[in-house]
Structure formats: structure tokens, C-alpha cells
Amino acid sequence: MINISINGKPYSYEEELTIYHAAKEAGIWIPTLCYNEKLKPYGGCRVCLVEVTGKPVLVPSCATNITEGMEIVTDSDRVKGGRQFIIELLLARTPGAKEIQELAKKFGVDPTGDSAQGSVSTYLLKRAEPPFETTCILCGLCVRVCAEVTERHALSYEDRGMKRRITPPFSKVADTCIGCGSCAYVCPTNCITIEEA
């Protein structure tokens, strides 16, 4: 048995789980955009951040396993502030994504970027070149499902920093793509659509 506490309440689990799964079994909601049951935990979106006693930084709950005696907090001001900051960054990058707008509303993030948590980062993102007109949050689910599940490797990341995007390798339609639609299926913001050739 693994004994932990979540938000001050004790819980016991027979097997090793991620914090995300332990909280889910306890009926505690933790938001996430990049988690998928079919893929290895990644923690890419950072919306699922939680506080673990003894850790100096917030940790992604979907990629952190529970350990004996772990004390987890999912609703502290620090956690809420961290999530608000991440959501504001996502909203600045993808203002048209309905899923991000809904999260912003749930967490009290001002869609204009005037909230205290991330106004500087939002300011910088809005002035980056080129202007963002996408609903892609760069969570990487499409790239990962293409590599890990279908093993086709028809999608990859291109560029770095503010210019980073997801594209077929070398920006050409990959011969390895089988048109299965897995990338569109896992996309949390419905950014990918399948079109007839």
C-alpha cells in the first residue's frame, strides 16, 4: 500500500499511480490538456500542476508518480497562480481556442491579458513575430501519437521558441502518413482537421 495525502486528506493505493490518477480516483479534478490514456505521461501543457511538500517547484501531476508519505496540494494559491499563468500564456498564443477560453473562465483569467499573473508574458507573446493565428497549443499530442501509437513519424516540431510549430518533417507531406486521423482525434483544441486528398 502507498499512503499519501491530497489536500490534507489521507488516501491509500495498492499500486503506483501518477498524482493525476490518484486524485482522479479520489474524485479530485485536475485540469489537463496534454494527457491521453494511450500515451506515456508527458506533462507538456503544464495545466495539471500541483504542489508536493518538499519540492521547490510545482510538478505536473500527469507525469509524477505517487510515493509513500507524499503530501499533495491541488488547490493552494500557489497552484492556482501557476495554472492561471500557464492558461494566460496559452490564451495569448491561441485566443481563438474555445477549450482555452473555457479554462480561462474557470480559473478567472482575463482574456485581455490584464490579469496580474501573466501580463508581462502575454505582452511579449502578443508582440512576437509572426502573430499567432492558431488554436495549436503545442502540447505535442499529435506528434506523440503519430510516433508512439501508429509509429509513422509523419509529424514533428519545427523551429524553436516563439516560432515553434508542428509540421510534417521538412515541411513536406510525409509519405509515411496513412491518413488514420489519430492526430486529429487526440488534439485537445481541435486544431487538426482531416481533409480528402
Q: Which residues pair with 59 in a beta bridge?
A: 50
Confidence band of 133 (pLDDT split at 50, 70, 90): low
Is 13 a member of any domain? yes
111/146 same-domain check: no
68/6 same-domain check: yes
How many distinct structural domains can be found in the chain?
A: 3
pLDDT digits (tens, 9 = 90+) for 6-21: 999 999 999 999 999 9
9/69 same-domain check: yes
82/40 same-domain check: no
pLDDT digits (tens, 9 = 90+) for 45-97: 899 999 999 999 999 999 999 999 999 999 999 999 999 999 988 888 888 88
**φ, ψ of residue 184 in degrees (nearest 5):** -70, -35
In this structure, is the dihedral angle defined by the CA atoms of residues 70, 73, 74 and 80, taken in order, positive or negative? negative
Question: Where in the sequence is the domain holding 53, given as residue range(s)?
Answer: 2-74
Question: Computed over its alpha carbons, how large is the radius of gyration of the chain?
Answer: 18
11/62 same-domain check: yes
Query: What is the spatial distance between Cα 48 and Cα 123, in angstroms, rounded to a whole number?
Result: 24
Q: What is the CATH number of the domain that holds 35?
A: 3.10.20.740
89/116 same-domain check: yes
